[in-house]
Amino acid sequence: MFIDIPGELKAVLIDRLLPPWELDGSFLAQSTIAEYRTELTATPRFEETAATLRNALTAEGGGYAVLRLGNLAKALGTNDDRFLRLATAFAAEVAVPFSPFPRWPLWKDIGVKVDKDPGKSSGIGYNAFHMDLVNGTLPPDYTTLLCVRRDPLGGGPSILSDAHAAVARLSENSRALLAESAYHYGTFFDLFGVGEEYKPFPILDCSAPGEGFVRFTAKMLERSRLGRAHADAARELAEELVRGQVLFMLQRGDYLIVNQRCFLHGREALHSGQETVPVAARRLLLQLFLRAPAGGGSAS
């Protein structure tokens, strides 16, 4: 789902100066959420656009959306605090923004490092399907990526796949194996708001089909020691995720929001030759996580 900002709303937002946000711990303060909402609900078609965004993320068959903020980015500049506050205000219409990394600000930079592990988010290679904070007992309900700069060489399209649809195509035996607490991945330290370390964990953490997280990261197939049967079941899921994937290129100002209870995400490899691109010109995304209020629904 790609959501354009209506012209009359865009015209008002360009001139709208939202105040700096305040945090309550690592979460966006409720006072800031209320202030942003008060400022924006009076603008033409804001509530309609926010409702369309929420519906795209939570309605049956949905689970991700790209809010096209490119015109605002062009008018304000992505380095302008006004632009980032507007993006934060839209995010707060979905759920409560927060940072699980105390050492990072609310929005975390994801740049390109040619000497990094190629499969990492800041690497240059294929970033396979995964959910963020997979090994926390309370992973973020939503992960979001705001495109500041696309790869100037033309690589790195985003990939998404309906996790539950992929699971439904598996054999009954594979689903049974994925529901066992036999999986583990990564480390867990210096984190906030994502519960405790979950190790080992089941990939399918809900007995009801189509519900709960699909706690999957393809990296576990190479970087975790798994029994053969459990590894084969996870590998089968990885293949189904690729089979059902959608692929698109984020443009400057595009804001991707992914409901982690529905979709898994990743990225194709960046174009070769990244070492020839100046650091300040390489692909740059900003990442923000969202926590749905208790009982589900939006933050509004």
pLDDT 10s digits, 175-193: 999 999 999 998 898 999 9
Query: Residues 261, 132: contact at Cβ < 8 Å?
Result: no
Q: Could you tell me which residues are beta bridge partners of residue 291?
A: 96
Per-residue model confidence (pLDDT) at position 299: 57
Q: Which two tokens stand for residue 23?
A: 């945090």
- In angstroms, the first-to-last Cα distance of the chain is 21
CA-nearest of 63, 84, 64 to 13 is: 84
Is domain 2-291 annotated with CATH 3.60.130.10? yes
Per-residue model confidence (pLDDT) at position 206: 77
pTM for the full predicted model: 0.95
Which sequence spans correspond to the domains of the chain?
Answer: 2-291
**Tens of each residue's pLDDT in the chain, 300 residues:** 899 999 999 999 999 999 999 999 999 999 999 999 999 999 999 999 999 999 999 999 899 999 999 999 999 999 889 999 999 999 999 999 999 998 889 999 999 999 999 999 999 999 999 999 999 999 999 999 999 999 999 999 999 999 999 999 999 999 999 999 999 998 898 999 999 999 999 999 876 777 889 999 999 998 788 999 999 999 999 999 999 999 999 999 999 999 999 999 999 999 999 999 999 999 999 999 999 986 554 555
Per-residue model confidence (pLDDT) at position 224: 81
Q: Could you tell me which residues are beta bridge partners of residue 162?
A: 263
CA distance 262 to 81: 31
Which stretch of DSSP H or E encloses residue 231? helix 228-243
Distances (CA, A) of 68 to 75, 90, 93, 261: 13, 11, 16, 23
3-state SS, one letter per residue, for 66-82: EEECHHHHHHHCCCCHH
